Amino acid sequence: MKKHNFSAGPSILPRSVIEQASNGILNINNSNLSLIEISHRSKDFVEIMDRATTLALNLLNLNNKGYKALFLQGGASLQFLMTAYNLLENKAGYINTGAWSTKALKEAKNLGDAIEVATSKDANFNYIPKNYSLDSDLDYLHITTNNTIFGTQFHELPKTNTNLICDMSSDIFSRNIDFSKFSLIYAGAQKNMGPAGTTLVIVKEEILGKVSRAIPSMLDYKVHIDKDSMFNTPPVFAVYTSMLTLEWLTKNGGIKAIEDKNIEKANLLYNEIDSNDLFNGFAKKEDRSLMNVTFNLNDQDHKEHFDRLCLEANISGVNGHRSVGGYRASIYNALDISSVKVLIEVMNQLNKLV
Ligand SMILES: *Cc1c(COP(=O)(O)O)cnc(C)c1O
Q: Please report, for the domain that includes residue 113, its CATH number.
A: 3.40.640.10
Domain match, 22 and 53 both = yes
From residue 319, alpha-carbon distances to 92, 108, 199, 234 in Å are: 35, 31, 25, 33
Closest ligand 1 atom, residue 168 Cα: 13
> Is the domain of 92 the same as that of 180?
yes
Q: For residue 339, which of 317, 306, 320 has the smallest C-alpha distance?
A: 317
| Structural domain contains residue 296 | yes
Claim to verify: residue 219 and residue 259 sit in the same structural domain: no
Over the chain, what is the mean pLDDT? 98
**CA 290–ligand 1 middle distance (angstroms):** 17
> Based on the domain organization, do 187 and 90 belong to the same domain?
yes
Residue that is last in its domain, among 251, 286, 305? 251
Calculate how far, in angstroms, residue 349's C-alpha sits from the geometric centre of ligand 1.
Answer: 34
**Confidence at residue 123, expressed as pLDDT on a 0 to 100 scale:** 97
Confidence (pLDDT) at 151 = 98
73 lines ligand 1 (CB under 6 A): no
Whether residue 318 is predicted with pLDDT greater than 90 in this model: the reply is yes
Average pLDDT over residues 304-309: 98
Instruction: Say yes or no: 232 and 260 in one domain.
Output: no
Residues 18-46: tens digit of each pLDDT:
999 999 999 999 999 999 999 999 999 99
What atom of ligand 1 comes closest to residue 79's alpha carbon? 9
Active site residues: 100, 167, 191
Q: Is 154 in the pocket of ligand 1 (CB under 6 A)?
A: no
Question: From the CB of 144, is ligand 1 less than 6 Å away?
Answer: yes
**Closest ligand 1 atom number to CA of residue 75:** 7
What are the Cα distances from residue 336, in Å, to 157, 215, 264, 281?
Answer: 28, 43, 11, 22
Query: Hey, whose CA ends up nearest to atom 10 of ligand 1?
Result: 76
CB distance 148 to ligand 1 below 6 Å: yes
Residues 305 and 257 in one domain: yes
What percent of the chain is modeled with pLDDT above 70? 100
Mean per-residue pLDDT for 203-231? Answer: 98
- Is residue 77 predicted with pLDDT exceeding 90? yes
Residue 16, pLDDT > 90, answer: yes
Q: Which of 234, 251, 268 corresponds to the end of one domain?
A: 251
- Per-residue pLDDT at 1 exceeds 90: no
The answer on 270 and 260 residing in a single domain is: yes
Domain that holds residue 121: 15-251
Within this chain, do residues 238 and 259 fall inside the same structural domain, yes or no? Answer: no
Tell me, yes or no, whether 129 and 228 share the same domain.
Answer: yes
103: pLDDT strictly greater than 90: yes
The residue nearest atom 2 of ligand 1, judged by CA position, is 169
| pLDDT of 250 over the 90 cut | yes
- Indicate which CATH number applies to the domain containing 309: 3.90.1150.10
Judge if 275 and 194 occupy the same domain. Answer: no
Q: How far is the CA of 77 from the centre of ligand 1 (A)?
A: 6
Share of the chain above pLDDT 90, in %: 99
How remote is the CA of residue 276 from the centroid of ligand 1, in Å? Answer: 31
Average pLDDT score over residue span 268-283: 98
What mean pLDDT do residues 107-125 have? 98
Q: Is 339 in the pocket of ligand 1 (CB under 6 A)?
A: no
CB 294 within 8 A of CB 151: yes
Distance from the first to the final alpha carbon of the chain: 28
The preferred substitution site among 83, 143, 167 for testing ligand 1, maximizing ligand atoms within 8 Å of CB, is 167
Instruction: Please tell me whether residues 239 and 269 are part of one structural domain.
Output: no
* Residue 106 scores a pLDDT above 90: yes
At residue 295, the pLDDT reads 98
- Say if ligand 1 is within 6 A of residue 169 CB: yes
Structural domain total, the chain: 2
Q: 216-225: list long-range contacts, CB under 8 Å, 24+ apart.
A: 216/85, 219/78, 219/81, 219/82, 219/85, 219/86, 220/85, 220/86, 221/70, 221/82, 221/86, 224/70, 224/72, 225/68, 225/70
The residue nearest atom 13 of ligand 1, judged by CA position, is 169
Same domain? 185 vs 67: yes
Is the Cβ atom of 170 under 6 angstroms away from ligand 1? Answer: yes
Is the CB of residue 9 below 6 angstroms from any atom belonging to ligand 1? yes
Best probe residue, ligand 1, of 145, 148, 168 (max atoms within 8 Å of C-beta): 148
According to the model, what pLDDT value does residue 345 have?
A: 98
